[in-house]
Each structure stands twice: as C-alpha cells, then as structure tokens.
C-alpha cells in the first residue's frame, strides 16, 4: 500500500460496498489471514527442525532451565 492509503480510508471505502460485497471481502480476508498464519507456523517448524538437526537444542527440566538462568 502506498503511504497515502490509510486504514481509515480503506474502511470508509468498504462502507460504500453493498452488504454482499462486504461479506465476500470478509471471507477473502479471513482466508488470506489464515493462510498467512499457516505459512508462518510452517516457517517456524522448519526453523525448529533445522535447529534440532544441527544440535542447537537442549532438553531438561524447568529446574535445569532456571539453574542455567541463575548462573
């Protein structure tokens, strides 16, 4: 979006749409947000798997973690 487009302006434009178009827009935006969230989760999973494969993870109890933090 260009700097001249604001959320308020977009919302004002959406208000000009009829109800069916607003419902459709809501569905499209919801679907796109879900897909974006899924993609982010998938990226985090790939990163975690890579860290695990490279041995960049440790396991232990909460007490172990707190002990390391206090050292």
pLDDT at 65: 87
Does this model's pTM top 0.75?
no
Q: Is residue 51 part of a domain?
A: yes
| Domains held by the chain: number | 1
Structural domain boundaries enclosing 24: 7-70
Q: Is residue 27 part of a domain?
A: yes
Q: What is the CA radius of gyration of the chain?
A: 22
Terminal-residue alpha carbon distance, the chain: 48
Q: What is the pLDDT along the chain (71 residues), one digit of tens a residue?
A: 556 889 999 999 999 999 999 999 999 999 999 999 999 999 999 999 999 999 999 888 999 889 888 87
Q: How far apart are CA 35 and CA 26, in angstroms?
A: 14
Q: How far apart are CA 23 and CA 27, in angstroms?
A: 6
pLDDT at 29: 98
């Amino acid at each position: 979006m260009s700097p001249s487009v604001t959320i308020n302006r977009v919302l004002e434009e959406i208000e000009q749409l009829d109800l069916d178009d607003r419902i459709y827009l809501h569905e499209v935006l919801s679907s796109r947000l879900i897909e974006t969230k899924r993609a982010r989760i998938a990226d985090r999973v790939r990163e975690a798997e890579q860290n695990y494969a490279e041995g960049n993870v440790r396991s232990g109890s909460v007490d172990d973690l707190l002990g390391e933090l206090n050292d």
